[in-house]
A = this chain, B = another copy of it.
């Protein structure tokens, strides 16, 4: 069995992607590192964060980092199982912060291409609806699609969750 791997868990809204990804990480020996990219801007987001936290018990160390997840990953001890949840919120944070999404995505993808332990990253699939009328939403959708492609290209395993069921993609 290899000592390191990258798994990308893709899914739609409420498709069970976080739960499935957590199960992959906790199947490894603790301690596990959870890198949370969500920011509690409003009540809706606060509820989601609380909900996700409630599922994580002993054995988890949590780092809340909306932007510098490449840096955090760079500092993770080798061999530590890591969950990043999620890339799509991170991308949204990058765009909101006015950073260059292209550059940041390339940097993150390069870091994820060299996992130093069993790393699992969660991302949303957002490109299977009608073209959004809002130009910013279109740009975001494109950037999210590119990021998913880049990460999937180097991932050892890609899973799409459909109604909570994992479907193997790669």
Show the binding face of A for B, using Cβ within 8 Å: 8, 10-16, 44, 123, 125-135, 137-138, 140-142, 144-146, 148-149, 151-153, 158, 160, 162-165, 167, 169-170
Contacts and interface: CB of A to CB of B under 8 A. Distances in A.
Instruction: Give the residue among A130, A132, A140 with the most B Cβ atoms within 10 A.
Output: A130
B133 A130 contact: no
B127 A14 contact: yes
Interface of A, secondary structure class, is: mixed
A53 B112 CA distance: 30
B158 A169 contact: no
B44 A162 contact: no
Contact of A141 (B14, B140, B149): B14
A126 B134 contact: no
A41 B16 CA distance: 33
A162 B125 contact: yes
Contacts of A169: 162-163, 165, 167
Contacts of A134: 133
Given A14-B142, A129-B129, A149-B16, A160 B158 contact: no
